[in-house]
Amino acid sequence: MQKIIILDFGSQTTQLIGRRVRELDTFCEILPYNKFPADDPSVIGVILSGSPYSVHDPEAFKVDLSQFVGRIPVLGICYGAQFISHTLGGKVEKADSREYGRANLQTVDTTNPLFKDFDQHSQVWMSHGDTITAIPEDFKVIGSTKDVQNAAFASTKQPVWAVQFHPEVYHTLQGTLLLKNFVVDICGSRQEWSAASFVDTTVAELKAQLGQDRVILGLSGGVDSSVAAVLLNRAIGNRLTCIFVDHGMLRKNEFTQVMDDYKVLGLNVIGVDASEKFFSDLAGVTEPEQKRKIIGRDFVEVFNAEAKKITDARWLAQGTIYPDRIESLNITGKVIKSHHNVGGLPKEMHLQLCEPLKWLFKDEVRRVGRQLGMPEHLINRHPFPGPGLAVRILGDITREKVRILQDADDIYIRGLREYVDADGETLYNKVWQAGAILLSTVRSVGVMGDERTYENPVALRAVTSTDAMTADWAHLPYDFLAKVSNEIINKVRGVNRVCYDISSKPPATIEWE
């Protein structure tokens, strides 16, 4: 299969470049800057990402351009453009002032294939401290802004292009067109990467990989593990056994609802109610990281105990997706962030690992789910933390606190699903993630009827995002917030105040713990 290689120099938007390329129905791989696969004949183009470094920094990441320049088309973005210029004889210098934010291309060479069908004065997004003051010999300028003469340039002899702006971000209005011009027209992508082709190819590969072996999959009720289960079920049928562990801190009625969904999908699922063990082990624990570790440890113990009953299993399947794998390794190949489904297998299980979604971004997982005929309410489910409501309750965990939060959260989430805005879309589908948080370490004075109350506040959280690496608080309608707040206070025993969290990430995080 044809592929674009994106060499990662540490930019925060490298994954976004990958998603934009995939949206062009073209397969791409994000690799560390020093891991170009020189012997891979399927590579049709290379994109060099941005970087937090200056090309002049002693620790700046460098790549041998001769591995691909002159052989296949190359596009440098921001640092990638500066690195091309610096390496091939141009000049990169410190800008008088940091060039950050919106700018307009004042001069665009629309005869160049990179800018085919571009508008003059198109808006782009700049983010760099250095600027290219001279381009290499045999290159020509094909795009400028008011402050950046060499905003885009191209070789007159080799298939090399470079832009100092970021075409992958939303604020570059014709960024997708630029990437399409590069990936499709210049590199010659046949645009064969689609949800349908992925399903067909992956099912065939799973049949060949797994043969007649039995596979165990841990289900969470989330999008990734559910799509992985349906995909595996299509490949091997009842030789897949799924295990769904209820730690007692799921959303209201979620365990029963999800089990019903899986039954409709024809999955072979073992449901395990282990809530008693989790509540017992969490008793009196208030420190957030300790809560997470206890829940993680108990989950592994419960899952392993159930999995060992399936004595003929040879594989453990996981819903690992591409961002999990990218975030677990930095560009030097060292682990910088551990993910629950990337850390390897318990040695005592003696199972091989199967990850059918390991090349997909979250958006693609949802498209595959639709291709598989899964119901929309499963495909569009918001992300939900593995420890569940335990990390949405400040302080220690009790069944009563979980009951309070489940009731408040249920009113909030149902409200988001039911409220249709002027665009004809529900609020639930417009936000990336939402949930209620119980501030059980705080007591608030209130008046209900003629009585004074002293109960807990609940905070509502809703964010918009594309990948959860950054997120902004969702600007929910006042009438919606008023209605939900009133319903929670009137119907949920133990709550007398509702607040709305208007913090963005960064500096805050999406979850409170």
For the chain, what is the largest distance between any 2 Cα atoms, rounded to a whole number of angstroms?
Answer: 84
Can you tell me the distance from the alpha carbon of 166 to that of 77, in angstroms, rounded to the nearest whole number? 6
Can you tell me the distance from the alpha carbon of 71 to that of 229, in angstroms, rounded to the nearest whole number? 41
Can you tell me the distance from the alpha carbon of 151 to that of 108, in angstroms, rounded to the nearest whole number? 10
Active site residue 242: no
Can you tell me the distance from the alpha carbon of 54 to that of 128, in angstroms, rounded to the nearest whole number? 9
Task: Choose the catalytic residue: 28, 86, 99, 166.
Answer: 166
E-assigned strand segments in 174-328: 214-219, 240-246, 269-273, 313-317
User: Residue 170: is it exposed, middle or buried by C-beta count within 10 angstroms (0-12/13-18/19+)?
Assistant: exposed
Of 162, 180, 171, the closest CA to residue 118 belongs to 180
Q: Specify the pairing of strand 28-32 against strand 43-48.
A: unpaired
Cα-Cα-Cα-Cα dihedral sign, residues 397, 399, 403, 409: positive
3-class secondary-structure state, position 382: coil
Q: C-alpha angle with apex 490: 487 to 492, nearest 5 degrees?
A: 90
**Distance linking the first and last C-alpha atoms of the chain:** 42
Task: Choose the catalytic residue: 28, 29, 78, 364.
Answer: 78
| Buried-exposed string 315-336: b where 16+ CB fall within 10 A, e elsewhere | bbbbbbbbbbbbbbeebeeeee
Q: In DSSP terms, which residues pair with 145 in a beta bridge? A: 105
Q: Between the CA atoms of 223, 225, 231 and 236, what dihedral angle is there, to the nearest 10 degrees? A: -160
C-alpha pair distances (Å), 70 with each of 17, 45, 161, 445: 22, 11, 12, 72
Can you tell me the distance from the alpha carbon of 403 to that of 60, in angstroms, rounded to the nearest whole number? 52
Quickly tell me which residue has 């299969």 as its tokens: 1
DSSP 8-state symbol, 76 = E
Q: One-letter amino acid identity for 138?
A: D
Active site residue 425: no
Can you tell me the distance from the alpha carbon of 402 to that of 408, in angstroms, rounded to the nearest whole number? 10
Can you tell me the distance from the alpha carbon of 426 to that of 424, in angstroms, rounded to the nearest whole number? 7
Q: Between the CA atoms of 291, 293, 296 and 298, what dihedral angle is there, to the nearest 10 degrees? A: -80
Tokens for 274?
Answer: 């282990």
Task: Choose the catalytic residue: 29, 168, 306, 364.
Answer: 168
Q: One-letter amino acid identity for 136?
A: P
Cα-Cα-Cα-Cα dihedral sign, residues 438, 444, 447, 453: positive
Active site residue 247: no
Contact 36, 5 (CB under 8 A): yes
CB atoms within 10 A of CB 7: 26
Q: Which residues are catalytic?
A: 78, 166, 168
